[in-house]
Structure 1
């Protein structure tokens, strides 16, 4: 069944009927910057970005050691998450084909929809951003003349934007003299000598006004979802290894500033 656009800001058009397939199933408005999921759902880009729940497990991918964090990555680029419609793991891609079809079909209505979306975005106290996180280690094998057989390794966590990170708490094996370390600024790393591999835990704590949008995030310091626990098993093969994940964070700084007034 066709629907009539009910948004008062778009009411200049005379009772334009919008086909159900052209409505976003989340906001029930004309699709804006449509994305299509692997599970064949079409949504507004912003609706998809705000509704998906991202987990570290689903995102972690082994990548070459020389790959570096990228800046300004699109919020949906390579992001795998649960679909807000069917809850299956999926990713979404912008569909210019659908967008051009809607523009041609609804003309000025889409233009007004775009203007309204821009006003909503400007007036929002909360924005959604994507942070690329790398975790891994480099390693230098022991010198053949060194009878101790110790590996020289360095564990690290890297980010596409360090300005949102307050600290990284690194938890080594309890046999180390100082098993807990806190890094307040980059590089968020620790270097040690050792002979065996083990799992290193790192808690990434965001700055005030930010929070993780992830089922893995934890509360800390009377703030919700600001700590993200990560785990990495040391790799002594080759020169080491690293993995990449792209996670969403909520930026509530504007909201926080407004509450403080």
Structure 2
């Protein structure tokens, strides 16, 4: 029989709406999704699946990555699997703190302890894909273009594989360090493919992720159609990755 100190939190909760449907505990730092589900911020961060397609947004070429909250990006809701995003509800959080003062304080303490002890961490990355171009002065000349993949934290990236059109002499290139780019001359546009492969111990939290021969969900395939208008173009994805490197260092799981 469980002691009072280890009694499940939900026993004392008066209203089921105050429970997170994922962890079944008192909502902590609650977020509300566009599809009207309320979850703990951490549960939304860990369980919402991110799609590259839904995240791809065309942005100015000079944009630089900024920090963002993983729970707020477009993702598949853990409850209904529809595409959604979530916003922190400070009003609900204040209500829960007032209604369950001791319990919410305990949730705060447990959350800090769990985060410190956790073997797996959820981290965020901003990925840019695009190209620049120098239009030819003579309409009969070739376009001078450069395709690139830019990543906010290159320390987690093992390599970026770039796949050009098969008519190029070397259509496959592997870049082991930044800049992850290739510059060529050409007549017309085509779709460039790139696979962003994470280092051992990391994996993408995305339905688009693919397995490599060394690790599961370590490769993220991207596609970009070259843009020869103006000076080029780029798109941004805000994505989540799972960091399990502490497990790897301790030799757990294999």
Normalising by structure 2, we get a TM-score of 0.94
* 1:126 alignment partner in structure 2: 120
What per-residue deviation string (whole Å, max 9, x for no partner) do you get for residues 75-121 of structure 1? 124x1111111111100011111111100111111001110111111
Q: 2:161 aligns with which of 146, 165, 169?
A: 169
Query: What CA distance in whole angstroms lies between the structure 1 residues aligned with 2:92 and 2:5?
Result: 23
- RMSD between aligned residues: 1.9
Query: What CA distance in whole angstroms lies between the structure 1 residues aligned with 2:4 and 2:116?
Result: 19
* 1:143 alignment partner in structure 2: 137
TM superposition shift of 1:8: 5.9
Name the SS of the counterpart of 2:71 in structure 1. coil
Query: What CA distance in whole angstroms lies between the structure 1 residues aligned with 2:85 and 2:98?
Result: 27
Q: 1:238 to 1:102 in 2, by over 3 A?
A: same
Aligned 1:91-106 pairs, distance under 5 A: 91-106=85-100
TM superposition shift of 1:193: 0.8
Name the SS of the counterpart of 1:186 in structure 2. coil
Query: What CA distance in whole angstroms lies between the structure 1 residues aligned with 2:5 and 2:18?
Result: 18
Indicate if the aligned counterparts of 2:42 and 2:71 stay in contact, CA closer than 8 A: no
TM superposition shift of 1:130: 1.3
Q: Is it true that 1:188 corresponds to 2:168 in the alignment?
A: no
Q: Is it true that 1:48 corresponds to 2:19 in the alignment?
A: no
Q: Is it true that 1:153 corresponds to 2:149 in the alignment?
A: no
Indicate if the aligned counterparts of 1:69 and 1:158 stay in contact, CA closer than 8 A: no
Aligned residues: 251
Normalising by structure 1, we get a TM-score of 0.91
* 1:3 alignment partner in structure 2: none
Indicate if the aligned counterparts of 2:31 and 2:87 stay in contact, CA closer than 8 A: yes
Name the SS of the counterpart of 1:104 in structure 2. helix
Indicate if the aligned counterparts of 1:164 and 1:206 stay in contact, CA closer than 8 A: yes
Query: What CA distance in whole angstroms lies between the structure 1 residues aligned with 2:175 and 2:3?
Result: 49
Indicate if the aligned counterparts of 1:9 and 1:116 stay in contact, CA closer than 8 A: no
Gaps of 5+ in 2: none
* 2:27 alignment partner in structure 1: 31
